[in-house]
Amino acid sequence: MNLLSDRILNMSTSATLAMAAKARELRGEGKDIIGLSLGEPDFNTPDFIKDAAIQAINDNYNSYSPVDGYVELKEAIITKFKRDNNLTYTLPQIVVSTGAKQCLANIAAVMLNKGDEVLLPCPYWVSYSDIVKLNDGVPVEVKTSIETDFKMTPEQLEAAITPNTKMMWFSSPCNPSGSVYSKEELRALADVLAKYPNIYVVSDEIYEHINYGEGHASMAEFDDMYDRTITVNGVSKAFAMTGWRIGFIGAPEKIARACNKMQGQITSGANCIAQQAVITALNASPSKVKYMIDEFKVRRDLVLGLLGDIEGFNSNTPEGAFYVFPDVSYYFGKTLRGKTINNATDFSLYLLEEALVATVTGDAFGNPNCIRISYAASQEQIIEAIKRIKDVVS
Ligand code: PLP
């Protein structure tokens, strides 16, 4: 009998965290690594949110909160959904969890049975596939290409649907491609789904505010999709609050109640101080965090401009999030500084070892031709990192 379960033995380690660990190890050896692998803002949490947390501590918020979150927080989430997304939810439709990641884990646990297929337009966020597998679901990758800005077309969606398709999960803005689905594009996907009323959608909108284009659209905005869309969001990215671990869903009531029940046995709810601070964050105008978005946009343009000068880096123009996802397959089969590059993992490791720049292989996101470069780093770091990359691939 194995000490460890098949469940954990079959799970892959998060590639982004693995790369960060390797970068840390090299740093420990004294190497000057520039980290462009992690998906977290390099800003501090804004002071007005920190102050609310300090106030909550002084007000003796120290007991378990309701499992699905404080009512005041759920009310702030309802107001946020109405204000930013034109979505109407009621209290029993909202569940607050320990990050959007736990929201996704809850959804998979309460909705998937063995063999249920979950469509994942590629590239997708690293954890989707393992969360689905952990819950006996079958991830079904729908390959997209740079020609369609890494967005799934209605034809691709239709072709991927089988009698076992239970759900579709996607993020817009997308981690890792930065692609943003317009309202028209979402409508075209919804038109396909209209023919399959049993398929549910997870619309992961965690990068909602980090959007440089025409604005954000939610799948649940369409009347015919509202009852079968679970809208996932949180404060990690736009409010620079990754470590505070608060995410939330707006969902059909039956699903929200199931997530609440699941969470009641697993975590007893999210951290009470963080929940109190998030009430303040969500009640504030999104314009309060615009300075971060403006800076991300400057960096996006900087990265695209600098990468554009390097042979073999073929990028789309990300409209949101803080990543670029260049296709680097030009280098496959080539030998650089005595090292043969066979795939994106080799390339990413090569950049770490030779340029001392940490990126993440696209393999982890379901696209083996690309690497992900995070621009949640200072402009100086970005300029230096891309200069180093250019040097080692020339
Ligand atoms: N969804 C996407 C697309 C993400 O990129 C991330 C974090 O990287 C998450 C969800 C998880 O967010 P949280 O920190 O709220 O768990």
Is the domain of 128 the same as that of 209? yes
- Residue 345 in contact with residue 363, Cβ under 8 Å? yes
- Residue 336 in contact with residue 392, Cβ under 8 Å? yes
Domain for residue 141, yes or no?
yes
Per-residue tokens: 329 = 């397959």
Ligand 1 nearest atom to the CA of residue 242, by list position: 14
End position of a domain, from candidates 232, 255, 285: 285
ω into residue 123 within 30 of 0, thus cis?
yes
Q: Is the C-beta atom of 178 inside 6 A of ligand 1?
A: no
The pTM for the full model equals 0.96
Is the domain of 206 the same as that of 280? yes
Domain for residue 344, yes or no?
yes
Written in H, E and C, the secondary structure of 117-175 is EEEEECCCCCHHHHHHHHCCCEEEEECCCHHHCCCCCHHHHHHHCCCCEEEEEEECCCC
Q: In which residue are the tokens 């999104």 written?
A: 286
pLDDT band at 99 (very low <50, low <70, confident <90, very high): very high
End position of a domain, from candidates 239, 254, 285: 285
DSSP state of 329: G
Domain for residue 13, yes or no?
yes
pLDDT at residue number 214: 84
Q: Is the C-beta atom of 247 inside 6 A of ligand 1?
A: yes
Pairwise CA distance, residues 251 & 259, whole Å: 10
| Count of Cβ atoms closer than 10 Å to residue 354 Cβ | 16
pLDDT at residue number 54: 98
**pLDDT tens-digit series, residues 72-81:** 999 999 999 9
- Residue 316 in contact with residue 146, Cβ under 8 Å? yes
Tell how far the Cα of 380 is from the centroid of ligand 1, in angstroms.
26
pLDDT at residue number 17: 76
pLDDT at residue number 232: 98
- What SS3 state is found at 77? helix
Is the domain of 247 the same as that of 107? yes
Is the domain of 82 the same as that of 65? yes
Domain for residue 266, yes or no?
yes
Tell how far the Cα of 85 is from the centroid of ligand 1, in angstroms.
19
End position of a domain, from candidates 254, 285, 316: 285
Q: Is the C-beta atom of 99 inside 6 A of ligand 1?
A: yes
pLDDT at residue number 12: 82
Tell how far the Cα of 244 is from the centroid of ligand 1, in angstroms.
12
| Count of Cβ atoms closer than 10 Å to residue 179 Cβ | 29
Tell how far the Cα of 119 is from the centroid of ligand 1, in angstroms.
18
Pairwise CA distance, residues 332 & 263, whole Å: 45
Is the domain of 304 the same as that of 373? yes
Domain for residue 271, yes or no?
yes
Range 140-169 average pLDDT: 97
For position 375, which CATH number holds?
A: 3.90.1150.10
pLDDT at residue number 14: 76
Tell how far the Cα of 323 is from the centroid of ligand 1, in angstroms.
13
Looking at ligand 1, which residue's alpha carbon is closest to its atom 12? Answer: 100
Range 56-71 average pLDDT: 98
Q: Is the C-beta atom of 325 inside 6 A of ligand 1?
A: no
Q: Is the C-beta atom of 250 inside 6 A of ligand 1?
A: no
Looking at ligand 1, which residue's alpha carbon is closest to its atom 8? Answer: 39
- Residue 77 in contact with residue 279, Cβ under 8 Å? no
Tell how far the Cα of 98 is from the centroid of ligand 1, in angstroms.
11
Is the domain of 138 the same as that of 162? yes
Residue 344 domain boundaries? 6-44+289-393
Mutate to test the pocket of ligand 1, among 150, 236, 242, 278 (most ligand atoms within 8 A of CB): 236
Q: Is the C-beta atom of 236 inside 6 A of ligand 1?
A: yes
pLDDT at residue number 23: 87
* Per-residue burial over 305-340, b = 16 or more CB atoms within 10 Å of its CB, e = otherwise: ebbeebeebebbebbbbbbbbbbbbbbbeeebeeee
> In the chain, what are the helix, strand and coil shares in percent, each to the nearest 5?
45, 15, 40
Mean of the per-residue pLDDT values for the chain?
A: 96
**pLDDT tens-digit series, residues 13-24:** 877 777 888 888
Q: Is the C-beta atom of 320 inside 6 A of ligand 1?
A: no
**pLDDT tens-digit series, residues 179-219:** 999 999 999 999 999 999 999 999 999 999 999 998 999 99
Q: In which residue are the tokens 């997870």 written?
A: 202
For position 223, which CATH number holds?
A: 3.40.640.10
Tell how far the Cα of 101 is from the centroid of ligand 1, in angstroms.
6
- Residue 387 clears pLDDT 90, i.e. is over it: yes
Residues present in the chain in total: 394
Q: Which residues contact 366 (CB under 8 A, 6 or more apart)?
A: 120, 122, 123, 124, 129, 141, 143
- Residue 80 in contact with residue 248, Cβ under 8 Å? no
Is the domain of 31 the same as that of 95? no
Per-residue tokens: 163 = 């009698």
Nearest one of 274, 289, 207 to 50, comparing CA atoms: 274
Q: Could you give the percent of the chain with pLDDT greater than 90?
A: 92
Is the domain of 161 the same as that of 234? yes
Is the domain of 83 the same as that of 36? no
Domain for residue 1, yes or no?
no
Is the domain of 95 the same as that of 57? yes
* Per-residue burial over 193-210, b = 16 or more CB atoms within 10 Å of its CB, e = otherwise: beeeeebbbbbbbbbbbb
Is the domain of 332 the same as that of 190? no
Is the domain of 151 the same as that of 163? yes
Domains held by the chain: number: 2
Whole-angstrom CA distances from 385 to 77, 344, 353, 371 are 39, 18, 13, 14
Per-residue tokens: 35 = 């980290």
Question: Which sign does the torsion angle of CA 83, 213, 126, 300 carry?
Answer: negative
**pLDDT tens-digit series, residues 279-337:** 999 999 989 999 999 999 999 999 999 999 999 999 999 999 999 999 999 999 999 99
